[in-house]
Structure 1
Amino acid sequence: MLGRLTGRLSGLAALTASVAMLALAPKPAAADNIADALIGAYNTSGLLEQNRALLRAADEDVAIALSALRPIINWISRLESSYTRSGNALASTTSHPDGFFTGLELRQLLYDGGASVLGKQAAQETVLSTRQALLQIEQQVLFRAVTAYLNVLLQEETVAIRQNAVRLLGEELRASQDRFEVGEVTRTDVALSESRLANARANLADANGALTTAHAEYINAVGRHPGRTSGQPRLPSLPRSESDAEALAQRNHPSLLSAQHQVRALDLGVQRQRASLGPTVQFEANVGFNDDFGGTDFSDTASARVILSQPIYAGGRLNAQIRRVMAQRDASRANLLNVQRDVTQDVSDAYVRFQTATASLTASNERVRAAQVAFDGIREEATLGARTTLDVLTAEQDLLDAQLSQVSAQTERSLAAYQLLVAQGLLTAERLGLAVQIYDPTLYYNLVKDAPAAISKRSRDLDRVLEALGKK
């Protein structure tokens, strides 16, 4: 009996030492934190590059609209050949004059009822809408990086807990086999230990697979392999109440601002189409040189004219265009209402999610505390022979499960906090203060908004910007 008791206490001492080593083992050196993930995503996102290029295209639409208000000068050359037959009932003559003309032609819009000006203003509103759409894409890119980082962290913690469970259950199995040999337990107890160890190994395999998947998503979202994670991030600054969050979102959310600018752009589009029904006045002039290939004659020519045109009938096309733009404007207004409601709901959902996650984390912390107290108590009782090694390991497993739930609750709270930032329109590189070169959408716009000539200084500045962007 004394020998069996000594064996039991020896096994218990080994398990207790294992638990102590787990608690005292140093954590890996800190490496990647959530700011690193956000910086990597911002600097390497192809989606951001795509939408920045779309914004530059919208910038160019302003220059194109402005060009309609400026003179257009073309150099033209013509080779002409004609056939003329003239005469009367008695005789006729024919001629084949050939000629060459080269010169300059100028056209300038004088009046179109303001349609071109309205077109430029609509293009400017579209630029403002596209800038806000780019910010919303930026939020999506950064939130994906946040999610990827937190998922890697969660899966790493899960793998560590599962590994420890396999190790402890291996100790339990060996202790059960030792006790079976001395007759303290039955074959059923050994089989139960074997079953629990096999289940723990299966859970560890699943956890390793989930960690591999999390690494792949991190690479996709951030642009590189993750290093050692530095643990749960500090929570960002959050609003004091749900109403404060909703008020900020209604003023600041990029999706909402984008929809508002789109409505204004289409309002201007309706006005532009209506203005196009009025008269248009253009000035045209040309100057050039004529040469007669058939003789020695040549001439210098110059002409100028003012042309007034007024659409009378175009097969119903003009009114159809007005009705189409009006329908698009009405659709944009309805979309604005939907976006307003979606933003409000997203804020509410994110706020409730954060409050729920906070309450869940509080409960998980209490569960860990209670499991720790239970484990310590059962371990002490086991040293006195009132508990078995199996009781100790069961309590240890409860503690490890509680710790896993705690890690999950911490991850959920962090995700909810950053989701609340997205819902308010605050998850951008500039607002987060990331150590990156912030993309300035006004730099390119200011260079192209006045439609610079190809030989101007501003055009050369634009070339340098394009070279810096790697687009030329």
Structure 2
Amino acid sequence: MDAEILGGRMLDLLMKVRRTTALVGLSLLSAQTVQAETLSDALIGAFNHSGLLEQNRALLRAADEDVAIATASLRPILNFTGSLGRSFSRKSFMSSGLLVDQSSTTATIGIAMDLLIYDGGQTRYAIEVAKENVLGTRARLLSLEQSVLLRAIQAFMNVRATTETVALRQSNVRLITQELRAARDRFEVGEITRTDVALAEARLASARSALAAAEGDLIRSHEEYRASVGHKPGNLRPPKNLPKTANSVEKAKSIAVRGHPDMQAVQHDVAAADLNVARADAAMRGTVRLRGGLNRTQTPSANTSTNAGSLSLEATVPIYQGGRLSALHRQAMARRDAARSGLHITRHQIQQNVGDAFAQLRVSRASRDASERQIRAATVAFRGVREEAAVGSRTTLDVLNAEQELLDARSGLIGVQTNEFIAAYSALAAMGLLTAEHLNLPVQQYDPTAYYKLVKDAPARSVQGDKLDRVLRSLNKN
């Protein structure tokens, strides 16, 4: 009868703990409905907060300027020239011994002009190379955007997981504390030995240690969230649905090979390398330049001024430069071959990443199903062992072990649910689709063509230049 009474008291305590936990959960749920933060909110914050995106947007604008720099080489170069000089001389007449000092000041101002007429196509190829580099930089900016968003997703899910783990560990500590009290009561009436009490005490110490570790993980996940999203996490609402991916791995690989930004970047690298080979070949053909100038020279001491002008057409054809031009041509060919090999490597790497991501997604789904079944079985086992212990047919160790089995199952489910969401978004990133545009995030999209259109023709002081100034001011880069 004493065992039945103690067992009943233990069940009452456990039910109170469960009711208290449920009330706490309901209060947290009501707070989340007021201040809930979704995964979309986190992605918006990461997109707007990321200094990496801002940094690489600036680098893209710098690449845009390379097109303008190359274009400027085909335009006339005008320079203002000026000089001011003073000369001194002393004449000595041997017959008379007379010394005569002479000095004069000369001032010259002018305009010099230089126009490239022909260079074998070097400058045209340089412009095309710069354009390919711009396109490659745009693709790399998109790839970086994927990395920023994936990091935010991982941070979001890790905060969710560590928060749930802390709550689970806290519940575990409360439950084992109640079990320890019940064990001590049973020890007082002689139903169990001191060993059973010591086992409960050891398990409680272990639970408290695990709780401290979980709380440390929660703090670290908060710091990572702040770094990736830009602010502290609020009450994070769990995502409802997994993102849609391809129906098969082969289809996903086909999408990735065609449109992944890393693949596009390397393709533009190959195109630029091919153009550089042609550019190196054109360097052997020589150049033709038109040079001219207007000068005015004034000598105040002689009270004279002279106006002069010149115009010349100059051709330069390389004959021998110590093998430099041939070496540059071979170097360009070697870099082209390296770029083509890089394209091959990138293609296979992207396909492997897709395969790995989808494999991880399948594993996560299978693990989630298995964990859910494990929780159901462990719950039935724990309740049965607890009831059997109340009538004396089970020991305290049996109850503790069953409770640990249930705890491990619930903890495992938290991990696999987190892994499933991260794996799904990783699969999307492997396909090249983890972008703000594809996810329909309500953010201000960065238009990489707006700045390029204004600078590609190398504007100086003009209406177009004024538009460019306004764009720079809007970017806070002026």
TM-score scaled by structure 1?
0.93
Paired residue for 2:348, among 329, 341, 347? Answer: 341
Q: What pairs up with 1:59-78 in 2 under 5 angstroms?
A: 59-78=64-83
CA-CA distance at 1:414 after TM superposition? 0.6
> What is the deviation of 1:266?
1.3
Per-residue CA deviations over 1:416-436 (Å, capped at 9, x if unaligned) read: 101101111111111111121
- Deviation track 1:337-379 (CA, whole Å, cap 9, x = no partner) reads 1111100100010011101111111111111222233344455
Which moves more between the two structures, 416-425 or 363-372?
A: 363-372
d(CA) in 2 for partners of 1:15 and 1:180?
19
Q: Which amino acid is the alignment partner of residue 4 of structure 2?
A: L
Name the CA distance, whole Å, in 1 between partners of 2:87 and 2:292.
Answer: 24
Matched, 1:33 2:70: no
Q: Which residue of 2 aligns with 1:458?
A: 464
In angstroms, what is the RMSD of aligned CA positions?
Answer: 2.4
- Matches of residues 313-462 of structure 1 in structure 2 within 5 Å? 313-378=320-385, 394-453=401-460, 455-462=461-468
**Letter matched to residue 252 of structure 1:** G
Query: Any stretches of 5+ residues in structure 1 without a counterpart?
Result: 87-92
Offset at residue 316 of structure 1 (A): 2.1
Greater displacement, 108-117 / 119-128: 108-117
Structure 1 window deviating more from structure 2 (306-315 vs 198-207): it is 306-315
- Quick one: which of 251, 258, 261 aligns to 1:251? 258
Residue 11 of structure 1 deviates from its aligned partner by 2.3
For 1:276, what is the secondary structure of its paired residue?
helix
The one-letter code of the counterpart of 2:41 is D
Q: How far apart are the structure 1 equivalents of 2:391 and 2:101?
A: 132
Task: Write out aligned runs for 1:195-206 (5 A).
Answer: 195-206=202-213
Instruction: Give a deviation string over 1:372-406, Cα, whole Å, max 9, x none.
Output: 33344455656777667765565444323211111
Candidates 143, 147, 154, aligned match of 2:150: 143
> What is the match of residue 290 of structure 1?
297
Is contact 2:172-2:207 (8 Å) kept? yes
- Partners in 1 of 2:375 and 2:391 — Cα distance? 25
Gaps of 5+ in 2: 92-99
In the TM superposition, 1:116-195 aligns within 5 A as: 116-195=123-202
Measured in 1, the distance between the counterparts of 2:271 and 2:102 equals 61
Measured in 2, the distance between the counterparts of 1:425 and 1:84 equals: 77
Q: 1:84 to 1:265 in 2, by over 3 A?
A: farther
One-letter code of the match for 1:266?
A
Q: Is the 8 A contact 2:89 2:102 kept in 1?
A: yes
1:259-304 residue CA offsets vs partner (Å, 9 max, x unmatched): 0101111111111111111121111122232212331111222221
SS in 2 for 1:160: helix
Count matched residues: 465
**CA deviation map 1:13-62 (0-9, x unaligned):** 11133234435631443322221221111111111112111111110000
Q: 2 CA distance for matches of 1:120 and 1:4?
A: 90
Secondary structure at 1:157 match in 2: helix
Q: Residue 56 of structure 1 aligns to which amino acid in structure 2?
A: R
Give yes or no for contact 2:200–2:396 (8 Å, CA) kept in 1: no
Q: Which SS does the other structure have where 2:14 is aligned?
A: helix
Equivalent pair of 2:44/2:441 in contact (CA under 8 Å): yes
Shift of 1:211: 0.9
Decide whether the 8 Å contact of 2:270 with 2:340 is kept in 1. Answer: yes
Greater mean deviation of Cα atoms: 99-108 or 384-393? 384-393
Letter matched to residue 299 of structure 2: D
Verify the 8 A CA contact 1:168 1:393 in the aligned structure 2.
no
Per the alignment, residue 90 of structure 1 pairs with none
Question: CA 1:312–1:97 in structure 2 vs 1: closer, same or farther (change >3 Å)?
Answer: farther
What secondary structure sits across from 2:285 in the alignment? coil
Distance in 2 of aligned mates of 1:257 and 1:95? 72
The one-letter amino acid paired with 2:448 is: P
Is the contact between residue 196 and residue 396 of structure 2 (CA under 8 Å) also seen in structure 1? no
CA shift in 2, pair 1:233/1:318, >3 Å: farther
Q: 1:8: how far off?
A: 2.9
